[in-house]
Amino acid sequence: MAAQLEKSENELADARELVLVDDPEMSAEAAQEVGRLERTIADLEARLKPALLPHDPLDDRNAIIEIRAGTGGDEAALFAADLYRMYTRFIERAGWRRETISYSEGTLGGVKEAIFKVSGDGAFGAMRWESGVHRVQRVPATETQGRIHTSAATVAVLPEAEEVDVKIEDKDLRIDVFRSSGPGGQSVNTTDSAVRITHLPTGLVVSQQDQKSQLQNKLKAMEVLRARLLDLRVSEMEAERSKMRKSQVGTGDRSAKIRTYNYPQSRITDHRIGYTTHDLSGVMDGHIDPLIEALKLADVEEQLGG
């Protein structure tokens, strides 16, 4: 790609000289060629920029994604279900594997909370940009007057942690067991298989009841806890780094509203970079690649001081 850039730059220099010749026809053709080459060079430079930065090894990790319904009641849970479906389709197209860790249904087919692991090359590097508050503006199915409501769901994307990343001492944990609740098979409510783990130094709490045995629930809960502890450390480093930067593209600040999905106008706007697309149906069907690529490029330019 670098060789292609050098070739295009040489061709551009030649074309600019031809613009100055006395032959009007040749000059006009050269001017068109200048425009084409300038667009090609800009595209090549944009694609080469990420190579100028050191690679973040976390980008190669698997990701743990947590989706939760926010403000807006049933409509927020329905929107959380829409986001879950959107990511599921994106993950399928990427050829990655999705493993459900925890899933809590809301009413009307919505989702109160969904936690799942995405396994695949570069999963965290792509999905990390989805962390934050997602806001939807639309007429809910339950609305009889046709009024537009605003609801929200939160998304947290954590890098999968390995045991060497985060050392957890037994003395720092409080583990409680209780009976599983909700729909399920014959084992539900008959044994104390659900697990709640509290990490005392940070106050982080992870509950897990979706697996069949207490041991499986404990293993899954520990996996989520390790990811959250690593994410806590990464977020602190990102916040420190962002003090020197203009925006919050890469801070992982999940209290920030990052994106609005406006159904009446078929419009999605990412507020971190001012990016707007009117392909709402495509995005909700899992075609979030343009958003991710725009966010990646904005982060690269920010780090390069662009």
Domain boundaries, the chain: 2-52, 57-163+246-303, 170-236
pLDDT of residue 187: 45
pLDDT of residue 145: 80
Q: Mean per-residue pLDDT for 155-173?
A: 88
66: enclosing H helix or E strand: strand 63-69
Classify 106 as helix, strand or coil: coil
CB 45 within 8 A of CB 52: no
117: enclosing H helix or E strand: strand 111-119
Report the top-level CATH class of 170-236. Answer: alpha beta
pTM: predicted TM-score of the whole model, two decimal places: 0.73
- Residue 58 pLDDT class (50, 70, 90 cuts): confident
- Could you read off the pLDDT of 206-262 as tens digits, one per residue? 999 888 889 999 999 999 999 999 988 888 877 765 554 444 455 445 567 999 999
pLDDT of residue 30: 86
Alpha-carbon separation of residue 282 from 89, 90, 138, 167 (angstroms): 11, 11, 17, 42
Q: What is the DSSP string of 256-270?
A: SEEEEEETTTTEEEE
pLDDT of residue 219: 92
Between 288 and 9, name the one with better pLDDT: 288
Q: How are beta strands 132-138 and 97-105 bridged, if at all?
A: unpaired
pLDDT of residue 299: 82
Q: Does domain 57-163+246-303 have CATH number 3.30.70.1660?
A: yes
Residue that the structure tokens 């009889």 belong to = 144
pLDDT of residue 133: 94
What is the crossing angle of helices 2-19 and 24-48, to 10°?
160
Q: Mean per-residue pLDDT for 42-47?
A: 75
Residue 12: CB atoms within 10 Å: 17
Q: Mean per-residue pLDDT for 48-76?
A: 83
Same fold, 57-163+246-303 and 170-236: no
b/e string for 250-288 if b means 16 or more Cβ within 10 A? Answer: bbbbbeeebbbbbeeeeebbbbbbebebeebeebbebbb
Average pLDDT, the chain: 85
Q: How are beta strands 132-138 and 257-262 bridged, if at all?
A: parallel
b/e string for 81-119 if b means 16 or more Cβ within 10 A? Answer: bbbbebbeebbeebebeeeebbeeebeeebbbbbbbbbe
Is the torsion defined by CA of 275, 279, 281, 286 positive or negative?
negative
